[in-house]
Structure 1
Amino acid sequence: MAGRIITIAQQKGGSGKTTLAAHLAVALALDGVRVALLDCDPQGSLGEWFERRESSLGEAGTGLDFRTASGWGARREARSLARDYDFVVIDTPPKSDIESRPAIEAASLVAVPVQPTPVDLWATQATLEMIAKEGTPSLLVINRVLPRVALTQEIAEAIQALGHPAAESRLGNRVAFAASMGAGRTIQETAPGSKGAAEVQALAAEIHRFIGP
């Protein structure tokens, strides 16, 4: 049985796609499954993170495999990796439906990070429309949530009104996420007992249930 492909997509820049891709991949790997990362973003931020990870942990210590692809090659590479891994997590570029579409087409699930602001919610419509055209299941992930902000709940309700599934688990607006990425790690590794680590683990478990065994 082929592995599951999770594509992280959002046409709006600055949504936290790369951070979500890295954290989700490591969380799944820590749960004991085989995980590969596929970077389709020409900016290469995920690749830089993985190189730092290799430098500090060694090639055999990353717990992940890593590949790059672009355009239509992403679909072929993702399906190839899915033959050898339980999960393939794909990071896609913003502002490019041409580059993102093959990764969305190949996906078992598309996770769409969205920050809890009206502007981000409006910008997400284009991404959801693109995913709908491919007929791929999607799950909205509310990211960079500020505590005790009424707007967050209002946006959460607006997201539900869109008629698209949204994850119950949310990721907070925490400096520790960025700090861990700078070290080639994730928050589960640098601050394993923190609230942020618990948020990531809860999200990974929810996505795992959503996508099936």
Structure 2
Amino acid sequence: MAGRIITIAQQKGGSGKTTLAAHLAVALALGGARVALLDCDPQGSLGEWFEAREASLGEEATGLDFRTASGWGARREARSLARDYEIIVIDTPPKSDIESRPAIEAASLVAVPVQPTPVDLWATQATLDMIAKEGTPSLLVINRALPRVALTQEIGEALRALGHPAAQTRLGNRVAFAASMGAGLTVQEVAPGSKGALEVEALAAEIGRLIGA
């Protein structure tokens, strides 16, 4: 069976796409899957993270493969990787439906990170419309959530009202996510068993069930 492709997409910048892509890929790899990362964002943040990971762990010990592609090349590269890997995680650029569409079209599932603010909610509709046009399954992921803030619950309810499924797991607003990225690592690796690590593990398991991985 061909590998499953998870595309991380969100038109609004600053949603945490790259952090989610890296953490999800590592979590799935730690779970035993053969995982490749595909960076389609010209900004190259995921590539910088991967280079830092090679420096921290050694080129042969990253636990992941890494490729880059752009535009329509993303679909071809993702499908090529799917012949050799069980899971491919794609990071897409913000503000560009032309660049993101091929990665969405190729996906088994599109994960859409959303911060719990009205602005992020409004900005998400364009991404959901693009995903719906391609007919690809989607999953909204509330990111940087503050569990005791009423707004987070309100946004969660509003997301459900959009008619697209939302992950049961929410990622908290935790410094450890960004801090671990600076070393080319993830919160699971620098703080195993922490709340952040458990959230990522739960989200990876939830997504894995959805894609049959």
TM class, shorter-length: over 0.9
Find the aligned partners of 2:150 and 2:35 in 1 and give their Cα distance: 37
Aligned to 1:123: 123
Aligned to 1:159: 159
Shift of residue 146, structure 1, vs aligned partner: 1.1
Structure 1's unaligned 5+ residue stretches are none
> TM-score normalized by structure 2?
0.99
How many pairs are equivalent?
Answer: 213
Shift of residue 177, structure 1, vs aligned partner: 0.3
Where does 1:74-153 land on structure 2 (aligned, <5 Å)?
74-153=74-153
Find the aligned partners of 1:24 and 1:118 in 2 and give their Cα distance: 25
Shift of residue 212, structure 1, vs aligned partner: 1.3
Structure 2's unaligned 5+ residue stretches are none
Find the aligned partners of 1:19 and 1:132 in 2 and give their Cα distance: 24
Runs of 4+ with >2 A deviation: none
Aligned to 1:191: 191
> TM-score normalized by structure 1?
0.99
Aligned to 1:62: 62
Residue identity opposite 1:67 in structure 2 = R
Identity rate, percent: 89
Find the aligned partners of 2:204 and 2:55 in 1 and give their Cα distance: 26
Find the aligned partners of 2:199 and 2:180 in 1 and give their Cα distance: 15
Shift of residue 147, structure 1, vs aligned partner: 2.7
Residue identity opposite 2:57 in structure 1 = L
Q: Pairwise CA RMSD of aligned residues?
A: 0.5
Structure 1 residue 27 and structure 2 residue 27: aligned? yes
Shift of residue 211, structure 1, vs aligned partner: 1.2
Find the aligned partners of 1:3 and 1:147 in 2 and give their Cα distance: 35
Residue identity opposite 1:149 in structure 2 = V
